[in-house]
Amino acid sequence: MVKLEELITSHNGKLLLSGNEAIVRGAIEGGIKVAAAYPGTPSTEIIDTLFKISKKVGIYAEYSTNEKVALELASGAAISGARALCSMKHVGLNVASDAFITLAYTGVRGGLVIVTADDPSCWSSQNEQDNRYYARLANVPMFEPSNSQEAKEMTISAFELSEKLELPILLRTTTRISHTLGPVSLNPIKKISSHEEFVRDTERFVMVPRNALVMHDKLLKKMEKGLQISEDSPYNKIIRKESKKIGIITSGNPFNYAYEANERLGLKASILKLGMSFPLPVQQILDFIKDLKKVIVVEELEPILESEVRSISSSLKQRPIIYGKLTDNFPRNREYSTKIVMSGLSESLSLKSIPENIDLTKITSNSTPSRPPVLCPGCPHRASFYILKTTLGKRFIYCTDIGCYALGIQPPLQIGDLLICMGASLGTASGVSQTLKEPAVAIVGDSTFFHASIPALLNAVYNKHRIVVLVLDNLTTAMTGFQPHPGVELTEYEGIPIEEVAKGCGVKYVKVVDPMDIDGAQKIIKNAIALDGPSVIIMRHICSIYERRQGVRHDPYKISEKDCTDCLACIKILGCPAIHIVEERVKINDVLCCGCGLCAHICPQKAINQTE
C-alpha cells in the first residue's frame, strides 16, 4: 500500500496504486471537498484513505451510518456547490437507490461522483449483481475504468462531466480493478475554485409530483447531451483495428482479458473499448461493426452490452453475427479470466484447436489453495455462538446478518439459518416468529445494527414480535477494517450506546453482558426466549484483533500434556484456529492465542491453563 504522504503530495511522476487509491488521487486532483461512505469491500479503501488524509488536504470525510445517509450527505454538499464523492460496494447502492434515482431528477451544482464497486464471484458479498443496470434505471452517465490509471483519470472526468450536465455520475469498478496495483501518472494538485452556496430553487429541488415530471423531462434532455459527449469521449476508442471480419466490443476490467486472449490466440481482431459505457456511443458502435462479419461482446455478469449492441445492429442492412452470453459462448456469472475469455472466443469463432504453444492450465485464477474464512482466534462471537448453541440448541431459528458473525455457519458452531442483507436479521426473524408461532433469534453486529436494523426493531416492538435480538458488539466495524460507527466513542465523538437506542425504541427487556461470562449470558438468554415480545441482548466484548492493534496483549493459554486426554473437545466444539494437532497431540499456538480462555472453560479435563 502506498504511503499516504506520497498520495497527497503535489508532484508529477508515477506511483504504484490500487484502483481504490487511484480514485482517491483523482478526487484530490479533481478538487474534492466532501467525502462520505459506509465501508464495504471492495470499495472500503477509498473512504479509509480519504478519512485519514482529510485534515491534511482540507476536505470533510465521514463514515456515515449507511449508504443512503452517505449519498444524501454528499448530494447536499454537491447541491450546495462543493465537489463530493460517495463510495460504496454494489449492494450499498441498493440501500442508497431511493435517494439516488430521484437525485438524477434534481441534479447537482458541484460535481458528484458515486463509486459503485461490483463484486463478480462474490469474493466478499451476498450476491454478484450487475450495477450497470443502475445507470440505465436512473438514466445517469457511467464510467468503467480498466486499470488504476483510468480510475484516476475517470474520477477527474466524472467531476467535470457532473458539473457540465449537472448530474451525479456513476464510476463503476469491480473487485479486480479496486485491488489490483498499477502504475499511475500524477498531475499537480491544483486548487479548484468553487463557490459553496445553497441557491433556493423549489421547482428543481423539491420533488413533489408536479416538479418531478418537469425535472424528468429535463433529465432526458441532459442525457441527449450526454450521448454526444459519449460519442466524442476519449475513453471510448478503438484499441486496435486489424481484422475486417472479426471485432470485439468490451468495457471495464474484461477488456484486459479480451486483449490478452486476442493476443494469445493470434486472432488480430479489432477491439472497441468502452470506458464511458453509458450512454452508449451508438454511432461509434455502428461505425465499428458495419463492415464486420462477426462481433464478440466480452462483459462480466449480465448481457447488458451485448443486448444493446444487438439492438444497435438492427439498423444495418448487413448485420454481423453477434456472440456473447445470449449465444451461450460466455458465462453469465462469476469473474472472468483470460482462460475463460479465450475459451469463449474459441467457441464463438469455431476454432478447431488452441495454438500448441498455449498452456491453458497456466492461465487460471483458481491455482491457489482454498482458504475459507474463519472466526479469528479469541473472537468474542465464538463465545456468543457457543452460548447460543448450549442454551437453545437447534430448537429455534437463527436469522443472522452481514458481518464477521456470518462465519458462525461454519462447523463446528453452525449457527445461522437465514441471511439476506444488511439488517435483515430482525425483519426476517419477525416473519419467522409470526409464522411459526414461536420465538426466533436475530443475530446482528454493532455496526449493522446502526446501519439498517433500527426500523425493524421499532416494527418488532410495535407489533410485539417474539424475537430475541442478539447484538454482537465488538466495538468496531471489524470485517471491513476496524472503522468507527455511531456506537464507538472516539476522541472527537461521543459514542451512542446500543442499549439506550434499544430502550428508546420501546424494548422493555434490554441487557448487556460480556460473552466471556458464559453462565451470566446463558441465564439472560433463557429469560429472553420466554418473553412474549421482543428483547435485546448486547453481547459486548472488544474484537480480539482490534484489541491487539491497540497494544493490549493477554497471556496465551497452554495445554497440559499430563492432564490432556486428546478428547479433542476444544477442537470439535470451538474450531479456534489457535488450537491444532501437532505430532498427534493437541497444541495451542501461543502466537495466535489471544488469551480469551473460552477453551479452558469447555475443556472437560481442565487441562488448559493460562501461561504466566
- Report pLDDT digits (tens) over 316-325: 999 999 999 9
13-18/181-186 β-pairing: antiparallel
Low-confidence winner among 151-165, 416-430, 488-502, 538-552 (lowest mean pLDDT): 488-502
Asked if residue 368 belongs to a domain, the reply is: no
With respect to residue 419, please indicate whether it lies within any of the assigned structural domains.
yes
Residue 611 has pLDDT above 90, yes or no: no
pLDDT tens-digit series, residues 469-501 = 999 999 999 989 999 999 988 766 789 999 999
pLDDT band at 117 (very low <50, low <70, confident <90, very high): very high
Contacts of 359 (CB under 8 A, 6+ apart): none
Q: What was the pLDDT predicted at 192?
A: 78
**Same domain? 254 vs 125:** no
Burial of 583 (0-12, 13-18, 19+ CB in 10 A): exposed
Q: How confident is the model at residue 371 (pLDDT cuts 50, 70, 90)?
A: confident
- Grid-cell match 433556493, residue found: 200
Question: Does residue 226 sit in the same domain as residue 270?
Answer: no
Q: Tell if the pTM clears 0.85, that is, is over it.
A: yes
Confidence of residue 357 (pLDDT cuts 50, 70, 90): low
575, part of any domain = yes
* 387 & 333 share domain: no
Residue 194's SS3 state is coil
**Which residues 6+ apart lie within 8 Å of 334 measured at CB?**
120, 121, 128, 300
For residue 605, give the CATH number of its domain: 3.30.70.20
Range of the domain at 563: 557-610
Q: Of 207, 232, 257, which one is at a domain's C-terminal end?
A: 232
Q: What are phi and psi of 423, to 5 degrees?
A: 85, 0
313 and 182, same structural domain?
no
Q: State which of 177, 207, 232 marks the end of a domain.
A: 232
Name the nearest CA neighbour of 541 among 580, 504, 595, 612: 595
Spatial distance between the Cα atoms of 21 and 16, rounded to a whole number of angstroms: 9
Query: Does residue 361 sit within a domain?
Result: no
124 part of a folded domain: yes
pLDDT computed for residue 361 by the predictor = 61
C-alpha cell at 242: 486489424
Domain boundary (232, 259, 276) is at: 232
**Domain match, 395 and 444 both:** yes
pLDDT at 226 over 80: yes
User: Domain containing 302 — which CATH number?
Assistant: 3.40.50.920
Stretch 351-378: mean pLDDT, rounded? 71
CA distance 72 to 250: 33
Q: Are residues 226 and 258 in the same domain?
A: no
DSSP state of 376: P
Identify whether 302 is part of a domain: yes
Residues whose CB falls within 8 Å of the CB of residue 203, separated by 6 or more in sequence, listed in order:
211, 214
User: Within this chain, do residues 46 and 128 fall inside the same structural domain, yes or no?
Assistant: yes
What is the tally of helices (H) and strands (E) in the chain?
23, 23
Strands 169-174 and 294-298: unpaired
Residue 428 pLDDT grade (very low, low, confident, very high; cuts 50, 70, 90): very high
Which long-range contacts does 239-243 make (Cβ < 8 Å, 24+ apart)?
239/271, 239/272, 239/273, 240/270, 240/271, 241/270, 242/268, 242/269, 242/270, 243/267, 243/268, 243/269, 243/270, 243/292
Same domain for 348 and 385: no
Based on the structure, what is the number of domains in the chain? 4
Q: Yes or no: say if 17 and 148 are a contact pair by the CB < 8 Å rule.
A: yes
341 and 194 together in one domain: no
Same domain assignment for residues 341 and 249: yes
Rounded mean pLDDT, 365-371: 65
